[in-house]
Amino acid sequence: MNDYQWMAVAVLVGLTVRWTVSLNSYSGAGKPPMFGDYEAQRHWQEITWNLPVKQWYVNGSDNDLQYWGLDYPPLTAYHSLLCASVAELMDPAWVALHTSRGYESARHKLFMRATVFVADLVIYVPAVVLYCCCLKEASSRKKIASAFCILLYPGLLLIDYGHFQYNSVSLGLTLWGVLGLAHDRDLLGALAFCLALNYKQMELYHSLPFFCFLLGKCLKKGLKGKGLLLFLKLGLTVAAAFALCWLPFLSDVEHAVHVLRRLFPVDRGLFEDKVANVWCSLNVLLKVKSRLSPHTQLLFSFTCTFLSLLPACIKLTLQPSLRGFKYALVSCALSFFLFSFQVHEKSILLASLPVCLVVNEVPFVSVWFLLVSTFSMLPLLLKDGLAMAAVVTTLGFLVACSALLALFDKVSEEELQLAAFSGCVRRWLPAFKVPAETLRSWFLSSALAMGLLTVSSIALAPPPTLPDLFSVLVCFVSFLHFLLFWIYFNVILIWDHADGRSQKKVS
């Protein structure tokens, strides 16, 4: 078969696995009174279809915000309205005001799963295929292998098609933004990312790399010439995109402020459930969530997040390159996940997308990260009844990546992108060398630990005195991995040389 046929096979396999995962349970299935994220998405369709725009984000007799109140930006609401218009045609009971709460049927489940599938097929999958086809300095085999691995990433599949969300929309729009910047279509790239940000506010995890890369590009062109013109065009594009998305809410300033408060609810606390970041891990021993006031928690998290992403942002602004841009996306998303305020376990998907973008450059570490990111959501997946789906998709992903990317052969200093860093260290420690065999052993030990914790979480009951034992261990082990990954990706970015490979267009 030729390359196009192999790429088509990759897409078909990815779509088949997606639909297979969708046959499993979902968040809150049969669990009144709140049900889960499946009901949240259905309820948003109910609200947007039956109520005027002015009431979508406002508490009232027809819109109890305590029952899955809309708390995503306007583009999500418009998407819910679009889905609701189709639902109304198929069965008005699915979006009937009040009476449709907790609606569950096989036919409705098929419809809801189909909405995720169509959104994925229209936005995310084409972006992945185009990104892989446009990879520079990569053979046809490597492009196809990258597409296979990105499309089979189990974390996104299990959350969107199992748990039930539409992450592929915001992540897909972000990927279109990356493609725009990679091909010097800066305005289109900025527009795509603005749409992503107006679909999910968590896309702020990616906002600073986009801003710093474009600002650095303007500075490089000169702010008294072409750079200034580009800066003005970008500003107008961003302003127009936000104005268009927020147009129904801009007539009343107080209403717009109320919507913003819904999007950023600081009263929810430092984190929710068991999340593999700094604050949840510290909370096990120090109880920071109960000992510190919400204001202090917010201040601490802001300071730590700002300091952790500052080096990457400065580097990217001063030396803008597409290669640095991709690694900055990873670094900044991880900084937000590890240190920021009000983090969900599903937020690791925002770091996983840019890691997928460098899977062709550093396959060994990228696949390792993607495995850990899926494992870190294990408590949530078990709660949703997705144990079997998680195990099968994760093992399938590992086998596919091992076969297609030759993982264990890609651990030299050059293939790990650590040659510049190692050369710098050897000026002071001449005997320093990246230990390839040790890294392979660490990978296998990590996989073994994740496997044992997965089996224990599924098959064993925790001690009565420690009911959260396994979920806490999963989060803590994942946190240690993410901290090391954050250091690794920052090392690559900081030691990247502007006069070398980084200046080539690597999209």
Regions of the chain with pLDDT less than 50 = 498-507
Element (DSSP H or E) covering residue 389: helix 387-405
Question: How many residues does this entry show for the chain?
Answer: 507
Residue 214 is given by DSSP the state: H
Token pair of 45 as six digits: 């369709």
Each residue's pLDDT tens digit, 121-157: 999 999 999 999 999 878 899 999 999 999 999 999 9
The Cα–Cα gap between 139 and 128 comes to 16
Report in angstroms the alpha-carbon separations of 165 from 117, 162, 246. Answer: 11, 8, 22
The pTM for the full model equals: 0.94
Under 8 Å between Cβ of 354 and 175: no
* Cα 361 from Cα 338, distance rounded (Å): 24
Looking at the chain, the number of H-run helices and the number of E-run strands are: 23, 0
Provide long-range contacts, Cβ within 8 A and 24+ apart, for 29-35: 29/104, 29/384, 29/385, 30/104, 32/102, 33/102, 34/67, 34/68, 35/102
Q: Can you tell me which residue has the tokens 């907790």? A: 102
**323, 147, 478, 411: CA torsion to nearest 10:** -60
| pLDDT attached to residue 315 | 95
Residue-range domain boundaries for the chain: 3-29+104-503
pLDDT of residue 229: 94
Taking the C-alpha atoms of residue 193 and residue 207, their distance in angstroms, rounded to an integer, is 8
Angle (CA) 336 341 347, round 5°: 50
CA dihedral sign of residues 107, 113, 376, 340? negative
DSSP of 242-258: HHHHHGGGTT-HHHHHH
Closest by CA to 274, choosing from 199, 366, 349, 381, is 381
Question: For residue 388, which amino acid is it?
Answer: M
How many whole angstroms separate alpha carbon 485 and alpha carbon 331? 9
The SS3 of residue 292 is: coil
CA angle 169, 172, 176 (to 5 degrees): 135
DSSP 393-429: HHHHHHHHHHHHH-GGG--STTTTT-HHHHHHHHTT-
- Give the per-residue pLDDT at 507: 35
Distance CA 431, CA 425 (A): 9
Q: What is the pLDDT of residue 506?
A: 35
pLDDT at 505: 40
Structure tokens that stand for 466 in this block:
């420690």
Cα 241 to Cα 247: distance, rounded to the nearest angstrom: 10
What tokens appear for 351 in the block? Answer: 């770091």
CB 356 within 8 A of CB 150: yes
